[in-house]
Structures are given as structure tokens and as C-alpha cells.
């Protein structure tokens, strides 16, 4: 069970309550550390880890950091700024995000530029409340190509101990098939309401097996 040990090492070594179109309140912060492990015939396990953080610098400006590492082969590190675009109250809201950073493959690295338009909407039913977020992005990697990305996040935010979460991520470039990743999860609230554990599965088009994902969300 080496992959289980790998998950725990990465999670405590350290993508959000998926903010999307929502900005952080001034002076507040959010940090998410996550790890995903897959069984691998050659190495016994394969893994990736991520660290995501954002801070409300002003009421209309949220700054953040997005880092992901896939084994020791490739990964990225981005800094971003999120700005409000429009707020339609119960009909939802839009925000724009601009990011710059680097993408690496082993010891080589290249610049990355990313622009995202996000839509978010909260909802209330007779038995639960929740949110839906849609993120459409253009990401340009200077050594590679222009990627078009479309992501969907939906979850419940009721007062109960456990709530469901679904994340779907897609990426497309003109000379390759569509890349997709699906993560069904459950969010488990700790007694300290500022902390949430997220446990789920991850499946993508590049692998034949399903990974186990563990994340810890903290708000400050």
C-alpha cells in the first residue's frame, strides 16, 4: 500500500472551495493541498500533488497561487489575479482571472499565460443549498500550443456533515483529441468549520485505472 503512504506524505507536506466567479473577502485566505494516487505496473504507484491558495487583497481583487506536480516528470506553477466583471444577484455572477507562470517537463521550463472567464451561481432547494461554477479559459504555453479549457464544478453546501462535489475538467488543442478529467467527491466538514476534508475518485482519458484523491481545504 505504498500509494497510501504517498498520499499522506504529499497532503501534509503542503484546485479551492472552487471559487470560480467569487472573490475572497478582503483580508481572508483559502488554502487547498491535494494528492491523487494511481496504481502503476512499473512503479507500484503513480501520483500527483497540488497546492492552491488565494487571498483577498481588496474587495474587488483576489490574488492566488496554483501549483501542480505530476510525479517528477512535469507540472506547473502560476500566480493569478481575479477581478469582478458583473453581478446579477440571483441570476449569478461573472469574474475574470489572469495568470502567468511556468510549465516544466523534468528540468526544462517554459512560460505560461492564461485568461479565464468564470460564471458562478448559488442555488437553494427545499432540502439543500449549493453552487455551480463554469470556467472557460485560454492557456498559452510558449513551447507547446494554445489550449482551450472548459471546467464545471457543482456541489452542495448544506450544514450537514457530508456534502457531494463533482468536478469536470476539459482541455483541447487543435491537433489533439479532447482531454478530460472527472472527479466525484464528498466534502467532510471538520468540527472546526474552517477546515474541510475532500475524498474522491479521479478518472481521465489518459489512464485505464481510477485514482484516489484526498484534499484538505482551509479558510483563514
pLDDT digits (tens, 9 = 90+) for 60-73: 999 999 999 988 78
What is the pLDDT of the chain when averaged over all its residues? 87
Between residues 1 and 26, which one has the greater pLDDT?
Answer: 26
Task: Output phi, psi for 143, to 5 deg.
Answer: -95, -5
For residue 160, pLDDT beyond 50: yes
**How many other C-beta atoms are found inside a 10 Å radius of the C-beta of residue 135?**
21
Separation of alpha carbons 122 and 10, rounded Å = 32
For residue 50, pLDDT beyond 90: yes
| Range(s) of the domain holding residue 107 | 2-219
Read off the pLDDT of each residue in 83-105 and give the average, rounded to a whole number: 94
Q: Which residue has the cell 440571483?
A: 90
Q: How many domains does the chain have?
A: 1
Q: What is the dihedral of CA 203, 136, 7, 78, to 10 degrees?
A: 150
194 falls in which pLDDT band (50, 70, 90)? confident
Between residues 15 and 36, which one has the greater pLDDT?
Answer: 36
Residue 94 confidence (pLDDT): 97
- Give the CATH number, domain containing residue 75: 2.40.160.40
Model pTM score: 0.85
Residue 43 confidence (pLDDT): 65
Residue 96 confidence (pLDDT): 97
Residues in the chain: 220
Amino acid at each position: 500500500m505504498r500509494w497510501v503512504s504517498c498520499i499522506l506524505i504529499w497532503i501534509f507536506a503542503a484546485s479551492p472551495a472552487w471559487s470560480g466567479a467569487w472573490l475572497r473577502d478582503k483580508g481572508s485566505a483559502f488554502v487547498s493541498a491535494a494528492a491523487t494516487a494511481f496504481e502503476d505496473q512499473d512503479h507500484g504507484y503513480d501520483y500527483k500533488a497540488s497546492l492552491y491558495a488565494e487571498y483577498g487583497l481588496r474587495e474587488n481583487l483576489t490574488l492566488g497561487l496554483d501549483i501542480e506536480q505530476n510525479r517528477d516528470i512535469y507540472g506547473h506553477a502560476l500566480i493569478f489575479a481575479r477581478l469582478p466583471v458583473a453581478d446579477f444577484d440571483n441570476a449569478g455572477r461573472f469574474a475574470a482571472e489572469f495568470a502567468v507562470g511556468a510549465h516544466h517537463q523534468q528540468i526544462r521550463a517554459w512560460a505560461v499565460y492564461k485568461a479565464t472567464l468564470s460564471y458562478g451561481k448559488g442555488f437553494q432547494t427545499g432540502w439543500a443549498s449549493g453552487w455551480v461554477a463554469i470556467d472557460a479559459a485560454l492557456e498559452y504555453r510558449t513551447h507547446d500550443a494554445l489550449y482551450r479549457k472548459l471546467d464545471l464544478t457543482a456541489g452542495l453546501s448544506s450544514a450537514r456533515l457530508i456534502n457531494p462535489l463533482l468536478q469536470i475538467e476539459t482541455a483541447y488543442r487543435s491537433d489533439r483529441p479532447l482531454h478530460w478529467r472527472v472527479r466525484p467527491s464528498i466534502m467532510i466538514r471538520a468540527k472546526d468549520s474552517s477546515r474541510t476534508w475532500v475524498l474522491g475518485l479521479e478518472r481521465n482519458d489518459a489512464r485505464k485505472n481510477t485514482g484516489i484523491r484526498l484534499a484538505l481545504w482551509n479558510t483563514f
